[in-house]
Amino acid sequence: MRLYEIVSKCPPLDLNSKYAYFLIGEHFSKTSIVVTDGQDIIAMTSAYVNPQKEDTLFIWQVAVLPEYRGMNLGHKMINEILKRPLLKKIKYLETTITEKNTASKKVFLNLAKNLNCHIKKKEFLSSEDFTGIKDRTFHESELLYKIGPFDPGKLERL
Q: How far is CA 85 from the centre of its chain?
A: 19
Report which DSSP code applies to 130: G
Q: Answer yes or no: are the C-beta atoms of 120 and 78 closer than 8 Å.
A: no
Sign of the Cα torsion 48, 64, 81, 30 reads negative
CA distances from 38 to 4, 41, 64, 149 (A): 19, 8, 15, 36
* Mean pLDDT of each 10-residue bin along the chain, 158 residues long: 90 90 94 95 96 96 95 94 93 93 90 91 74 61 92 60
Helix ranges, the chain (H): 2-8, 18-27, 73-82, 102-114
Three-state DSSP at 44 gives strand
Position 135 scores a pLDDT of 53
Q: Alpha-carbon distance 22 to 107, whole Å?
A: 25
Looking up residue 29, the CATH number of its domain turns out to be: 3.40.630.30
Total domain count, the chain: 1
| Structural domain boundaries, residue 44 | 2-154
Position 141 scores a pLDDT of 79
Position 128 scores a pLDDT of 66
Backbone angles phi, psi at 82, to 5 degrees: -65, -25
Position 131 scores a pLDDT of 66
